[in-house]
Amino acid sequence: MYKPVVDFIRSHYQTDNFIALHEPVFIGNERAYVLETIDSTFVSSVGKFVDRFEEMIREYTGAKYAVATVNGTAALHMAMLVAGVNSNDLVITQSLSFIATCNAISYLNAEPVFVDVDLKTLSLSPEKLEVFLNENAEVINNECFHIETGRRISACVPMHTFGHPAEIDRIKEICDRFHICLIEDAAESIGSTYKNQQTGTFGLLGIFSFNGNKTITCGGGGVIVTNDEHLGKMAKHLTTQAKVPHRWDFVHDHIGYNYRLPNLNAAMACAQLEQLDKFIELKRNWANQYEQFFESTAITFCKEPENSKSNYWLNAILLKDRTERDEFLTYTNDNGIMTRPCWTLMHKLVMFKNAIKGDLSTSEWIEDRLVNLPSTVKI
């Protein structure tokens, strides 16, 4: 019963070979910029392409400050650090997420609190967030505390799942009301907009990822964006080992991190960013073809939410139940089409099984049914 899906995907990519979930596409200035970097000998964290990439990100997103990092996880860690997340704090996030978010929270000796997602966005639910906070939190002296444990809830980190924007304005309003810092995990949503504003720019800080499977890539790479001058400058300082600028002296004034994006990677990132709008146009066209195909089936295609323009980083469908999901995964992968389920929910992992959590019924329903489909840009 799944053969028509395999045939449809093969007809799009026009190949009988293995079809990956999401591969990088290099058709622009990647080679020229990388070779220029090699010829310059500035291949590490100092070089013109790092600065150029940050400038391009600022121009693209509209954020006032951008700090390029070695990967998205480092960007998350640094964003939460400069935002004031401390040891023993609680950080609200979603269980339906890639583990990088929870890992970054853990690096700070803080702990995640899991709130459910919306079916319409696959991202953090503002309704469930408000219910959780009304029932479990109180504001004292402009700080939010978890009533049962007395621990501070210092941040909320929603993720824009598969590139689909969360209802981030509603989440921000709730966070502001409860005096919780909003940090956007926009790792998957570069170029996606909500109400004509770039994801990653609604919160105090936002981050993007440029891992090898993302919409644009430089092998690894990440970036922090913010409109806060102090936080932007502090993030850049701490990601460069907190070295005080001087022509020859080595003086450091904080515990720093070797998180600066190398110039070699930044060269590729610049070339990829030059093509982002074209890639998104092609990905949205492919998503539209998926949507039309699945309209005549019993399978539900996950469309972009209302008021949003998604980059459709990974296309997703919802099957009837876990049994049908597993049958679909087996058939497609056996026939050379790479598909995958969503991540194991974070609260089911051994590291986070005792974490504080609200009702997660929607996350668990999605976990049983969701499958990601090949989403590589076809030129």
Domains of the chain: 3-23+276-346+356-373 (3.90.1150.10), 30-274 (3.40.640.10)
pLDDT at 184: 98
pLDDT at 379: 84
Model confidence at 29: pLDDT above 90: yes
The closest of 118, 372, 78 to 233, measured between CA atoms, is 78
CB atoms under 10 Å from CB of 168, counted, come to 28
- 90-94, 135-139, 266-270, 375-379: the lowest-pLDDT one: 375-379
CB atoms under 10 Å from CB of 355, counted, come to 18
User: In this structure, which amino acid lies at residue 61?
Assistant: T
335-358 average pLDDT score: 98
Spatial distance between the Cα atoms of 112 and 106, rounded to a whole number of angstroms: 8
- How confident is residue 45, by pLDDT bands cut at 50, 70 and 90? confident
Model confidence at 328: pLDDT above 90: yes
Spatial distance between the Cα atoms of 270 and 357, rounded to a whole number of angstroms: 40
pLDDT at 182: 98
Model confidence at 78: pLDDT above 90: yes
pLDDT at 267: 98
Task: Supply the mean pLDDT for the chain.
Answer: 97
Question: Do residues 313 and 165 touch, judged by C-beta distance below 8 A?
Answer: no
195 Rama class: left (phi>0) / alpha (psi -120 to 50) / beta: left
337-350 average pLDDT score: 98
pLDDT at 304: 97
In 95-149, which ranges are E strands? Answer: 111-115, 137-140, 143-146
Spatial distance between the Cα atoms of 180 and 164, rounded to a whole number of angstroms: 23
314-321 average pLDDT score: 98
Model confidence at 264: pLDDT above 90: yes
How far separated are the first and last CA of the chain, in Å rounded? 29
Q: Is the dihedral of CA 231, 257, 157, 138 positive or negative?
A: negative
Q: pLDDT tens digit string along 116-173? A: 999 999 999 999 999 999 999 999 999 999 999 999 999 999 999 999 999 999 999 9
Instruction: Look up residue 255 and give its two tokens.
Output: 């515990």
- How confident is residue 259, by pLDDT bands cut at 50, 70 and 90? very high
